[in-house]
Structure formats: C-alpha cells, structure tokens
C-alpha cells in the first residue's frame, strides 16, 4: 500500500473517530509523508476524556504497520473560528 492509500485510510479512520465525539470541527493537512490531524474542541476547558481518546487514536495509528509510510501528528485546540484554525494549521504544518 502506497503513501496515498495509507493517508486516505487514516483520514477515513479519523473522520469515523471524530463523528462519535462532541467536537467543534476537524482539519487535515497533508504534505508528502506527513499528515496533521487537528481537532477543534467544543469547549474551551481542557477535556481529559477527549485528550485520552485522541492519544489512544494517535497510538493506534502509530502502532499499525499498515501506516508505516506516514508520519502522523494529532493535535487538539480550544474553540476558535475557522479562519483561526486554518491559520494555526498552516503554521503548525510548516513546523512538522
């Protein structure tokens, strides 16, 4: 399985994961072999359950040999506007 196929599968998995959560929005940024998955929280307060679930998702992807060609990063941020989220995503993606 090539990197494009791996990225597509991780994104589908991420979308399914996100659909079962109470979150404001999600964003995906891909550059080559790097994939950044961003979750915008529903509430400004830290959500430990969401943090744990996101960490579990990250670990499952990292340990899944089907995704060996990808460098996947997951982040959660407090609620922000769509413009602010996209600006944040672009800035962070440039650093990865």
Residue 58 CA, chain-centre distance (Å), reads 8
Q: Classify domain 3-95 by CATH architecture.
A: 2-Layer Sandwich (3.30)
Q: Record the tokens describing residue 86, joined without a space.
A: 């996209």
Give the global pTM. Answer: 0.91
Beta partners for residue 58, in sequence order: none
The predicted pLDDT at position 90 comes to 87
- Environment class of residue 24 by beta-carbon count within 10 Å: exposed (0-12), middle (13-18) or buried (19+)? middle
Question: Which among 49, 47, 26, 30 has a CA at the least distance from the CA of 38?
Answer: 26
Mean pLDDT, 10 residues at a time, over the chain (96 residues)? 95 96 95 94 93 96 96 95 92 80
Q: Record the tokens describing residue 14, joined without a space.
A: 């991420």
């Amino acid at each position: 399985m090539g990197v494009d196929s791996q990225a597509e599968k991780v994104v589908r998995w991420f979308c399914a994961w996100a659909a079962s959560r109470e979150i404001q929005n999600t964003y995906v940024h891909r550059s080559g072999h790097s994939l950044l998955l961003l979750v915008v929280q529903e509430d400004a307060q830290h959500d430990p359950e969401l943090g744990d679930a996101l960490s579990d998702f990250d670990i499952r992807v990292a340990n899944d040999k089907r995704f060996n060609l990808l460098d996947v990063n997951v982040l959660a941020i407090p609620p922000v506007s769509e413009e602010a989220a996209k600006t944040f995503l672009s800035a962070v993606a440039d650093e990865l």
